[in-house]
Amino acid sequence: MKRVKVESFLPLTRITLIQALMALLLVYLLFMSLEIPLIFKTGYGYEYGSVSGDGSLGYALPRSLLVDNDGAARTVFDPHKVVHRSPERRMRETKRVKRLSGLLFNETIFDASDIADEFSVLHKAAKEAWLAGKKLWEELESGKVQANLINNSNTADNRTERCPVSIALSGAVFSARNRIIELPCGLTLGSHITVVGSPRWAHQEKDPKIASLKEGEEALMVSQFMMELQGLKTVDGEEPPRILHFNPRLKGDWSGKPVIEQNTCYRMQWGIPLRCEGWSSQADEETVDGLVKCEKWLRDDDANSEDSKATWWLNRLIRPKRKTQFTWPFPFAEGKLFVLTLSAGLEGYHINVDGRHITSFPYHTGFVLEDATGLYLNGDVDVHSVFAASLPSSHPSVAPQQHLEMFRKWQAPILLDGKVELFIGIISAGNHFAERMAVRKTWMQHNLIRYSKVVARFFVALSGRKEINAQLKKEADYFGDIVIVPYVDNYDLVVLKTVAICEYGVHTVAAKYIMKCDDDTFVRVEVMLQEAKKVPRDRSLYIGNINFYHRVFRSGKWAVTYEEWPEEEYPPYANGPGYIISSDIAQFIVAEFQSHKLRLFKMEDVSMGMWVENFNSSKPVEYVHSFMFCQYGCTEDYYTAHYQSPRQMICLWEKLQQGKPHCCNVR
Ligand SMILES: *[C@@H]1O[C@H](CO)[C@@H](O)[C@H](O)[C@H]1NC(C)=O
Ligand SMILES: *[C@@H]1O[C@H](CO)[C@@H](O)[C@H](O)[C@H]1NC(C)=O
Ligand SMILES: *[C@@H]1O[C@H](CO)[C@@H](O)[C@H](O)[C@H]1NC(C)=O
Ligand SMILES: *[C@@H]1O[C@H](CO)[C@@H](O)[C@H](O)[C@H]1NC(C)=O
Nearest CA to ligand 1 atom 12: 106
Nearest CA to ligand 2 atom 2: 151
- State the pLDDT at residue 127: 84
* Whole-number Å distance between alpha carbons of 424 and 581: 11
Whether the pLDDT of residue 89 is over 80: the answer is no
Q: Do 465 and 374 share a structural domain?
A: no
Q: Are 652 and 442 in contact (CB under 8 A)?
A: yes
Q: Which domain holds residue 526?
A: 404-658
The runs of H, that is alpha helices, within 485-642 are: 494-503, 525-533, 583-594, 604-616
Summarize the confidence of residues 553-575 as an average pLDDT. 83
CATH of the domain at 494: 3.90.550
| Domain-located, residue 492 | yes
pLDDT tens digit sequence for 303-360: 554 455 566 666 666 665 555 567 889 999 999 999 999 999 888 899 999 999 999 9
* Whole-number Å distance between alpha carbons of 294 and 260: 9
Q: 128 CA to middle of ligand 1, Å? A: 17
* Whole-number Å distance between alpha carbons of 274 and 92: 54
Percentage with pLDDT > 90 across the chain: 39
| Per-residue CA distances from 29 to 33, 35, 38, 104 (Å) | 6, 10, 14, 79
* Whole-number Å distance between alpha carbons of 518 and 642: 8
Summarize the confidence of residues 433-455 as an average pLDDT. 93
- State the pLDDT at residue 350: 95
CATH of the domain at 239: 2.60.120.200
Q: Do 429 and 349 share a structural domain?
A: no
Nearest CA to ligand 2 atom 8: 151
Summarize the confidence of residues 440-460 as an average pLDDT. 94
pLDDT tens digit sequence for 591-649: 999 888 888 888 899 999 999 999 999 999 999 999 999 988 889 999 999 988 888 89
* Whole-number Å distance between alpha carbons of 3 and 43: 33
Whether the pLDDT of residue 542 is over 70: the answer is yes
Nearest ligand by distance to the CA of 149: 2
Q: Do 563 and 446 share a structural domain?
A: yes
Nearest CA to ligand 4 atom 1: 616
| Domain-located, residue 598 | yes
Q: Do 374 and 258 share a structural domain?
A: yes
Confidence category of residue 377, pLDDT binned at 50, 70, 90: very high
Q: 133 CA to middle of ligand 1, Å? A: 19
* Whole-number Å distance between alpha carbons of 232 and 250: 28
Q: In the listed set 336, 364, 389, which residue is the last one of a domain according to the structure?
A: 389
Nearest ligand by distance to the CA of 146: 2
- State the pLDDT at residue 205: 74
Q: Do 409 and 384 share a structural domain?
A: no
CB atoms within 10 A of CB 452: 18
- State the pLDDT at residue 108: 66
Ligand 1 site residues (CB inside 6 A) read 106, 108-109
Whether the pLDDT of residue 381 is over 60: the answer is yes
* Whole-number Å distance between alpha carbons of 299 and 307: 13
The runs of H, that is alpha helices, within 489-582 are: 494-503, 525-533
CB atoms within 10 A of CB 211: 16
Whether the pLDDT of residue 67 is over 50: the answer is no
| Domain-located, residue 181 | yes
- State the pLDDT at residue 74: 33
Q: Do 360 and 232 share a structural domain?
A: yes
| Domain-located, residue 8 | no
Nearest ligand by distance to the CA of 595: 1
In the sheet with 513-518, reading across from the earlier edge strand, the strands are 482-488, 454-462, 422-427, 513-518, 573-582, 540-547, 621-625
Whether the pLDDT of residue 160 is over 50: the answer is no
Q: What is the DSSP letter of 85?
A: -
Atom of ligand 1 nearest to the CA of 109: 2
Nearest ligand by distance to the CA of 144: 2
Whether the pLDDT of residue 5 is over 80: the answer is no
* Whole-number Å distance between alpha carbons of 393 and 372: 15
| Domain-located, residue 500 | yes
Summarize the confidence of residues 536-565 as an average pLDDT. 86
Atom of ligand 2 nearest to the CA of 150: 13
| Per-residue CA distances from 354 to 168, 346, 667 (Å) | 19, 22, 29
Q: Are 480 and 551 in contact (CB under 8 A)?
A: no
Q: Are strands 540-547 and 482-488 parallel, antiparallel or unpaired?
A: unpaired
User: Of 415, 392, 455, nearest to 583 (Cα)?
Assistant: 455
Identity at 287, one-letter amino acid code: T
Q: Do 475 and 335 share a structural domain?
A: no
Phi first, then psi, for residue 213 (nearest 5°) are: -100, 140
Q: Do 601 and 495 share a structural domain?
A: yes
Confidence category of residue 95, pLDDT binned at 50, 70, 90: very low
Whether the pLDDT of residue 27 is over 50: the answer is yes
Q: 158 CA to middle of ligand 3, Å? A: 6
Nearest CA to ligand 2 atom 11: 151
Phi first, then psi, for residue 98 (nearest 5°) are: -90, 105
Atom of ligand 2 nearest to the CA of 151: 1
Nearest CA to ligand 1 atom 4: 109
The C-alpha torsion from 21 through 24 and 26 to 27, rounded to 10°, is 180
Q: 471 CA to middle of ligand 3, Å? A: 23
pLDDT tens digit sequence for 168-178: 999 999 999 99
| Domain-located, residue 510 | yes
Whether the pLDDT of residue 111 is over 60: the answer is no
| Domain-located, residue 103 | no
User: Of 415, 444, 580, 430, nearest to 513 (Cα)?
Assistant: 580
- State the pLDDT at residue 414: 82
**DSSP per-residue codes, 386-442:** EEEES--S--TTSSGGGG----GGGSPPP--SS---EEEEEE--TT-HHHHHHHHHT
- Residue from 103, 104, 105, 108 to probe ligand 1 pocket by mutation (most atoms less than 8 Å from CB): 108
Q: Do 275 and 176 share a structural domain?
A: yes
Whether the pLDDT of residue 113 is over 70: the answer is no
Chain-centroid distance, C-alpha 459: 20
Q: What angle do CA 639, 446, 61 make, to 5 degrees?
A: 85
Whether the pLDDT of residue 134 is over 70: the answer is yes
Summarize the confidence of residues 250-271 as an average pLDDT. 83
User: Of 610, 580, 410, 350, nearest to 495 (Cα)?
Assistant: 610
Q: How many residues does the chain have?
A: 667
Residue, of 145 and 306, whose pLDDT is higher? 145
pLDDT tens digit sequence for 195-251: 999 999 988 876 666 655 555 566 678 899 999 999 876 555 567 888 899 999 998
Nearest ligand by distance to the CA of 625: 4
- Return the SS3 of 1: coil
548 pocket-lining for ligand 4 (C-beta < 6 Å): no
Nearest CA to ligand 4 atom 10: 616
Q: Do 580 and 547 share a structural domain?
A: yes
| Domain-located, residue 90 | no
Q: 543 CA to middle of ligand 4, Å? A: 15
Q: For the chain, how many structural domains are there in total?
A: 2
* Whole-number Å distance between alpha carbons of 280 and 342: 19
- State the pLDDT at residue 4: 43
Confidence category of residue 397, pLDDT binned at 50, 70, 90: very low
Atom of ligand 4 nearest to the CA of 621: 1
Q: 594 CA to middle of ligand 1, Å? A: 10
- State the pLDDT at residue 368: 72
Instruction: Report the Cα–Cα distance between both ends of the chain, in Å, rounded.
Output: 38
Identity at 576, one-letter amino acid code: G
Whether the pLDDT of residue 505 is over 50: the answer is yes
- State the pLDDT at residue 31: 53
Q: Do 522 and 456 share a structural domain?
A: yes
Q: 235 CA to middle of ligand 2, Å? A: 27
Nearest CA to ligand 4 atom 5: 617
Q: Do 623 and 571 share a structural domain?
A: yes
Identity at 64, one-letter amino acid code: S
Whether the pLDDT of residue 120 is over 70: the answer is no
- State the pLDDT at residue 315: 62
User: Of 37, 12, 663, 31, nearest to 365 (Cα)?
Assistant: 663
Whether the pLDDT of residue 660 is over 80: the answer is yes
Q: 150 CA to middle of ligand 2, Å? A: 8
Give the E-state strand segments of 206-288 in sequence order: 220-222, 225-230, 242-249, 259-266, 269-270, 274-276
